[in-house]
Amino acid sequence: MNLSPLTVPYRILQRGASVAVAAAVAVASGASALVGAIGGVAVAVVLVGVAVLALVGYELARYRRYEYELTADTFDIRSGVFARRNREIPLRRIQNVDIRRGVVQRLLGIAAVDFETAGGSETEAAIRYVSFEEAKRLQGEIRRLKRGAATAGEEAAEESELLFSLSNGDLLLVGAFAFDLRVPGILLFLFSGVGSVLAPYLPDSGGLVVLLGGVAAIAVGVALVSWIVGALAAIVNYYGFRLTRVGDELQYERGLFQRYDGSIPLDKVQTLTVTDDPLKRHFGYATLAVETAGYTPGQGQGQGQQSASVIPLASRDRVFALANDVEAFGTPEFERPPKRVRRRYAVRYGLALAVLAGALYGVEAFLAAGIPWYVPLSAAPLVPVAAHAKWKHRGYWLGDSHVVTRNGVLKRRTKVVPYYRIQTVIDSRTAFQRRWRVATVTADTAGSLSVAGHDAAAVDVDAETATRLRETLSDRLRTALAARKRATENGDPSPATADGGGDG
Amino acid sequence: MNRLHPRVRRLWAAQALLLAAVVAVAVFVAGRVVFDGRIPAGTPLAVFAVLALAGVVHAALRYRVWRYEIRDDAIYLERGVVTRVRTVVPFVRIQHVDSSRGPIERVVGLASVVVYTAGSRGADVTVPGLAPDGADDLRERLKRLAIRAEGEDAV
């Protein structure tokens, strides 16, 4: 198969425009110094003409020498004008097929297709560009072929079920909740620093009141702006969001200008993450993200992690129902850490405040700039509240076939890990944790979000519980794997076990 | 539970001494160039002594804590002086096993084994302080155990 013929003019315009402008400017300015203004323009025109011809020739050659083919068990690409490259990707290894279309590409009816595998952080193969219909055909064909030759061609047998879609009203809600509580906090902190530096230059009369008022006004203003920007970004990202289940794959589409069509094979799911913050909790909403090995769907091309969600926003019950649809884990009943860790958190926050005030006091003693060093101490009454909240939102739960952990107050993450996806179990105890007889048990998976340090972890559980938990997790991993193996050997055709799965 | 070879203390102490020496030289150079000889002449030596002592004590404590065990279905490791870490690596999750000998390890006559998994955090686990033959044996044993466990779903 070849690329879409429209690829040639599109790429020429896309790449040519910038090249031509840069070349014209550089050449005209350089040559005019040598052969005068008119001669310079002539030279520029000739050189740009040559460059354009070369570009057209190259793009034509690239188009003619680019071939791909879908065989029964591999996807082959032969490409390259000067250096030829033949690549074969086993279909079983393909995790996601992502289709992306920008505004111009949508007008032309072409699309970029990315194929992701578990290995490495890079896209395994990127096709630029095919018609959108062809892209959808590839996505569907790969899904069918992956399920095995026996079922190939049974198109009618594949029912597609709409799991979730965002109406315009829902979309506005997504935008409203795009507000991140940490942003104003960070801004307030930054501006308080600026304020302290500016303090000596402000008028003396009522300086403190003016200063605090100014800081508050600036913080509110910037928070408002960042909220609006965040809301707009979320709306642009999630416009027309639809999540469908086709056979044993999830498919999503979203985007106002740039449209994304992605696929997530259910049998490659490593972890589910339900995220919420105080605002969403108050109104009973949550967000769901799905991780597959080495790659989080929708994350490519400079998209932040927030766009990795499978459900941008839905009521809590709905999110848990859908999550259960993907991985049937049941309703978690979280076991909280022992109550004594609340004292630990209180001590920690108290110390942090004291250190902050102390540092400010030190600066004040050194500069005598009238810094209100005692301001952080006014947060002292919040310490027990914060400590309690931190304790309250922590927990873990062992289900029949999944472990579920929960951590975080401002951004609370509930992570669902199937036992058979656990890679290693890590029990770590810092010197401080040993003092409080608590430990952290982490269930490491091959997921990708965890690279950022948000593993599924039961934090600050009692030391004895931790030891038990560690052994339980590794036992359950073994039994879960054995059960899956038996199911495969007995020829159980369930999609979750049909595939040998991972990467060697 | 297996302990490491006692000579591993020498290995870690040697590494600590090397680090201390590098830092001391850096302090010496900085004292000459940046502070123009205004810091006391004995500072680099004092820095070396403190770091070296800390390193040697840490090496001894580390040796006392380090344990590993080959269980029926997993390799279990216990280590860490300040943060105590206990890791369970099931054989089914082992992707590949290396044995390696660094320059100082060769001088001391020791070797280590590195176990790789597909995990994102504990992706590689090192067992240091093994006799060279012991390291090769351990590597072969882990390899056989991993093959027997047959990671049908490695990722």
Examine the domain organization and report whether B94 and B33 are in the same domain: no
Residues of B in contact with A293 (CB under 8 A): 118, 155
Strands (E), A335-448: 395-398, 402-407, 412-418, 424-429, 438-444
In this structure, the answer to whether residues B51 and B107 fall within a common structural domain is no
Q: Please give the mean pLDDT across all residues of chain B.
A: 89
Q: Do A424 and B89 touch (CB under 8 A)?
A: yes
CA distance A131 to A7: 9
Domain shared by B52 and B76, yes or no: no
pLDDT of residue A202: 54
Q: What is the CATH number of the domain that holds B134?
A: 2.30.29
Alpha-carbon distance values, A210 to A86, A203, A217, A220, A373 (Å): 68, 9, 10, 15, 17
pLDDT of residue B153: 47
Mean pLDDT of B130-145: 92
- Write out the DSSP string of A328-349: ------PBPPPTHHHHHHHHHH
Q: With b meaning 16 or more CB within 10 Å and e meaning fewer, what string describes A200-209?
A: eeeeeeeeee
**What are the tokens at A89?**
């990707």
SS (H, E, C) A390-406: HHHCCEEEECCCEEEEE
Same domain, B46 and B107: no
DSSP state for residue A1 in the 8-state scheme? -
Is the same domain home to B91 and B42? no
For residue B155, tell me if it sits in a domain. no
Beta carbons of B93 and A431 less than 8 Å apart: no
End-to-end CA distance of chain A: 30
Question: Residue A120: left (phi > 0), alpha (psi -120 to 50), or beta?
Answer: left
What tens digit of pLDDT does each residue of B9-43 get?
999 999 999 999 999 999 999 888 887 777 888 88
Asked if the structure places residue B23 within a domain, the reply is yes
Q: Are both B101 and B35 inside the same structural domain?
A: no
Task: For chain A, count helices (H), then strands (E).
Answer: 13, 19
B94 and B82 in a common domain: yes
**B112 close to B130: Cβ distance less than 8 angstroms:** yes
Structure tokens, A348: 């920690």
Say yes or no for a CB contact (<8 Å) between A474 and B117: no
B142, B72: one domain? yes
* Domain presence at residue B154: no
Same domain, B48 and B111: no
Reference A312, options A249, A246, A252; nearest CA is A252
Domain closes at, from B18, B36, B64: B64
B1 in a domain, yes or no?
no
Residue B19 lies in a domain: yes
Q: How distant is the Cα of A504 from the closest Cα of chain B, in angstroms?
A: 7
Distance from CA of B74 to the nearest CA of A (A): 8
**B90 with A430: Cβ contact below 8 A:** no
Angle at A171 between CA A170 and CA A176, to 5 degrees: 95
The domain boundary residue, chosen from B64, B82, B108: B64
* Chain B residue closest in CA terms to A488: B152
Full strand arrangement of the beta sheet holding A309-315? A309-315, A285-292, A269-276, A412-418, A402-407, A395-398
Q: Which of B18, B48, B64 is the last residue of a domain?
A: B64
Chain B residue numbers with beta carbons less than 8 Å from the beta carbon of A424 are 87-90, 93, 117, 119, 121-122, 125
Q: Is residue B3 part of a domain?
A: no
- Does residue B121 share a domain with residue B56? no
How high is the pLDDT of residue A184? 62
Beta strands A285-292 and A269-276, pairing class: antiparallel
Domain check: are B36 and B95 in the same one?
no
The domain total for chain B is 2
Q: What is the pLDDT of residue A486?
A: 82
In tens, the pLDDT along A366-409 reads 887 777 788 888 888 999 999 999 999 999 999 999 999 999 99
Within-domain flag for B60: yes
Q: Judge: B153–A423 Cβ closer than 8 Å, yes or no.
A: no
Pick B120's closest partner by Cβ from A446, A470, A473.
A446
Closest approach of A390 to chain B, Cα-based (Å): 22
Collect all residues from B whose CB is shorter than 8 A from any CB in A. 73-74, 80, 82-90, 92-93, 95, 117-122, 125, 151-155
Q: Residue A29 is encoded by which pair of tokens?
A: 């300015």
Q: Are residues B72 and B60 in the same domain?
A: no
Q: Does residue B2 lie within any of the structural domains?
A: no
Distance CA A317, CA A330 (A): 12
Q: What is the pLDDT along chain A (504 residues), one digit of tens a residue?
A: 889 888 888 988 888 777 767 767 776 676 666 666 677 677 777 877 888 888 899 999 999 999 999 988 899 999 988 888 898 888 888 888 889 999 999 999 999 998 887 765 567 788 989 999 999 999 988 888 887 654 545 554 567 888 888 888 888 888 888 876 566 666 666 655 555 555 555 555 556 677 777 777 877 888 788 888 888 888 888 898 999 988 888 888 888 898 999 888 888 888 899 999 888 999 999 999 888 775 555 444 333 333 356 888 899 999 999 999 888 999 999 999 999 999 999 999 999 999 999 998 888 888 877 777 888 888 889 999 999 999 999 999 999 999 999 999 988 999 999 999 998 999 999 999 999 999 999 998 886 554 556 788 999 999 999 999 999 999 999 899 888 888 877 765 444 433 334 433
* Contacts B152 to A, Cβ<8 Å: 481, 484-485, 488, 500-501
User: Which chain B residues have a beta carbon less than 8 Å from that of A488?
Assistant: 152
Retrieve residue A347's tokens.
Answer: 């001590």
Give the distance from CA A296 to its chain's centroid. Answer: 6
Owning domain of residue B115: 68-149
